[in-house]
Structure 1
Amino acid sequence: MILKNAKIVDDSFHLCNSDIAVEGDKITSIGPGLNGQEEYDFSGCVIVPGFVDIHIHGCVGADTCDADAAGLAKMCAKLVREGVTSFCPTTMTVSHEEIAHALETVKKCMDQPPEGSAIAGVNMEGPYISIHRKGAQAGEYVKNPDFTEFKNLYDTYGGIIKLVDIAPENPGAEEFIRKASKLCTVSIAHTVADYAAARRAFEMGVSHVTHLYNAMPGLTHREPGVVGAVFDDGRVTAEMICDGLHIDPAVLRITFSILGKDRVVVISDSMRAAGQPDGVSDLGGQTVYVKNGAARLKDGTLAGSTTNLHQEVKNLVGFGIPFLQAVQAATLNPAREIHEESRIGSIKTGKFADLVVLDSDLNIKMVVARGKIAADNR
């Protein structure tokens, strides 16, 4: 397969005129004037890497914590049509047994992959969070960090946990961070930590912050908090929900400017209502009300999102974020955070052929996932 005559976002995240050759599931050649038996002319289009969503609970009626292989297959099929070629099914703060069943199901689906978006591993958002900033998480299952428990889950299900969340102010956090950070990415989330506690956590091994600004104290001129600690430490990457509801567009512009091209990760944090009509849904066993695309608990707390990475990239460009910065934040940066950047996240010879063709309005014309055409909207 040859994709011809488009601009491509190259491995350095610059635009260039080049063709892309695909054989099997890999990119085999990048350059001008490539020819082959199966050619697709994308004049006037731009080809970007497949999007990588490392924080997504569900969509189209399915949720990771359902521990249902058919539901995960529905997610894979839906996401790939939206240009998400790899993702991390994300668990909630639910019972230990429910988390274990979810991990078991994801492992089976990784061993025998459904058609569509590839499952890159699991993001374990709960239960080691703060009860004081639980957001839409179920309070009865919140607990202090327990490395022994986590390590058992990690080992039992083949090391598929790519990212785990923690409130660093809770008892047991120091041991957890030091040990868990040797296994996967450790992230601060759902926390009341102040600036000093966040900086200590970074020194111990935390390298990521979950949905920056949400479920944590705000940044003020005398209490910089976790947000200020991220701004002040170039080692740390922050994820953001860019639906225009969770974070004001002006704050998104400010944050992208401060953190630069390498330290922002766009996530959907979407729940089962994504891709569904407005109405009543649920997240982590709690009733969620979706109106005009906004998902909220009865008390008005935002409960995840109903967006997707393609829509968020379009949003960001509309908000004034440079196109290439927005694309990198939805592709290579998340791939790095789960240590998959050698295989996915950019357009480079030898990497998986995960490609999204966009027209001049950033609408999807074609999605290629692991070398196969997964969506064709020409």
Structure 2
Amino acid sequence: MLKKIENVKVYTEQGNFVPGAVMTEGAFIRRILAGEAGNRKPEADGAAETIDGGGCYCIPGMVDIHLHGCGGKDFCDGTREALETITSWEVSVGVTAIAPAVMALPAERLEKALAAGAAYRKEQQEGKAVPGADLAGINMEGPFISAVKKGAQDARYIVPCDVGLYRRFQDAACGLIRFVGIAPEEGRNTADFIRQVKEEAVVALSHTNADYDTAMAAFAAGAGHVVHLYNAMSSCTHREPGVAGAVADSPSADVELICDGVHVHPAMVRAAFKMLGAGRVCLISDSMRATGLSDGQYTLGGLAVNVRGKRAMLVSDGTLAGSVTSLPDCVRTAVSEMGIPLETAIACATANPAKSLGQWELRGSLAPGKLADLVLWDECMRLQAVMKAGEWIRR
């Protein structure tokens, strides 16, 4: 059935808003009508259903390539119930595709979570799952990381990167792992690891204490991504630029950035945009299971976490333990508190992560032939409606 969402400000692939309308047919976008064309009578377009967008911003569904959970569940729970909760909650706030993260955990538990994710994605593709965000990939944040920069991960299960173990995990995930994180300073064969797996997944620098030269060598070998820039990595100073300095000098690599107002100072957020350019920044939530719930004690990667307000911290030592903020709220914070233009922040939560996932042809923008995943925000960035694959989830 043809649907027309009219009287909206459409976010274009050029990164600006134009008045107009969006037409969908089934699960996909059929046409973008700009200017006066968007105000034609419904019968002129053959639309069976017309929705007045009330002058709202019409933006692509957001793509979160790094989160752990929400609504009391974590991807590493490895259950169908957890995946239903996470995907349903995410789409309800305007996130239409996710790549949840796994951490340093026992290999058998990781395999269980990865296999559950692959099975649930198959259900989604067959139309057997509840409406929710697409499980578009998996972000293997751990276990191939540094104990020195472990953050809120369990040091007992950290191991050097290993091609055999990675392939064991990828097999369990039925090829759904899109990012595999490593600390390139750990182990002797990280360059070989990168060269062997870079065609199967994006190799990311994750929880690493690498210096500038080591990070540059990893990028030269084919690493193409940095997990939550500034957090759980070597410091960036005028004499020791570390991973942040190396990625600035590696134009083929992109970065994740948490804009929850806790993880990164606004000045350093602005510095990242100036240093890298907006096209290389993917906003992420890094949300843990307490997201959407009240303060209290929760767990992340088997470790006890206290949640107070916008902070999630390990009970043991106060280390930040993910965020309790959704990706749309990170976009709002980036715009309202950090000075990032709305058009730029939207690209960093839609187009850029879709490209990083290798799924730009399917999602990340409003264009004919792409999934009809869209969100309506009012002028105050408040959520008004969510469409997933041509069906209204919230309206």
TM-score computed with the length of structure 1 as normaliser: 0.98
Task: Please tell me whether residue 351 in structure 1 is matched to residue 340 in structure 2.
Answer: no
Please name the residue that 2:166 is paired with.
150
The farther-off stretch of 355-364 and 252-261 is: 252-261
AA partner of residue 68 (structure 1): T
AA partner of residue 356 (structure 1): V
Deviation per residue, 1:149-171 (Å, 9 max, x gap): 11122134321101110001111
Please name the residue that 1:278 is paired with.
295
Q: What secondary structure does 2:179 align onto?
A: strand
Please name the residue that 1:45 is paired with.
56
Task: Please tell me whether residue 311 in structure 1 is matched to residue 329 in structure 2.
Answer: yes
Q: Distance in 1 between matches of 2:203 and 2:286?
A: 17
User: Which of 95, 107, 110 is the equivalent residue of 1:99?
Assistant: 110
Please name the residue that 2:248 is paired with.
231
Please name the residue that 2:267 is paired with.
250
Please name the residue that 1:16 is paired with.
18
Using the TM superposition, give the Cα deviation of residue 17 of structure 1 relative to its aligned residue in structure 2, in angstroms: 1.6
1:277–1:156 distance in 2 versus 1, CA, 3 Å? closer
User: Which of 187, 190, 208 is the equivalent residue of 1:173?
Assistant: 190
Alignment gaps of 5+ in structure 1 = none
Kept in 2, the 8 Å contact 1:278–1:293? The answer is: no
Please name the residue that 1:339 is paired with.
358
Alignment gaps of 5+ in structure 2 = none
Q: Distance in 2 between matches of 1:107 and 1:123?
A: 13
User: Which of 90, 93, 102 is the equivalent residue of 2:101?
Assistant: 90
Kept in 2, the 8 Å contact 1:8–1:48? The answer is: yes
Q: What secondary structure does 2:279 align onto?
A: coil
Query: Where in structure 2 are the equivalents of 1:352-371 lying within 5 Å?
Result: 352-371=371-390
Q: Distance in 2 between matches of 1:356 and 1:257?
A: 28
Task: Please tell me whether residue 193 in structure 1 is matched to residue 195 in structure 2.
Answer: no
Please name the residue that 1:3 is paired with.
5
Q: What secondary structure does 2:171 align onto?
A: helix
Q: Distance in 2 between matches of 1:157 and 1:253?
A: 36
User: Which of 123, 143, 162 is the equivalent residue of 2:139?
Assistant: 123
Using the TM superposition, give the Cα deviation of residue 260 of structure 1 relative to its aligned residue in structure 2, in angstroms: 1.4
Deviation per residue, 1:118-161 (Å, 9 max, x gap): 11011111100001110100000000111111112213432110
User: Which of 123, 134, 139 is the equivalent residue of 2:150?
Assistant: 134
Q: Distance in 2 between matches of 1:259 and 1:45?
A: 30
User: Which of 152, 161, 183 is the equivalent residue of 2:177?
Assistant: 161
Please name the residue that 1:63 is paired with.
74
Kept in 1, the 8 Å contact 2:114–2:172? The answer is: no
The farther-off stretch of 169-178 and 185-194 is: 169-178
What percent of counterpart residues are identical? 40
Aligned residues: 376
Q: Distance in 2 between matches of 1:157 and 1:46?
A: 36
Q: Distance in 1 between matches of 2:136 and 2:28?
A: 17
AA partner of residue 250 (structure 2): D
Q: Which runs of 4+ in 1 moved over 6 A?
A: none
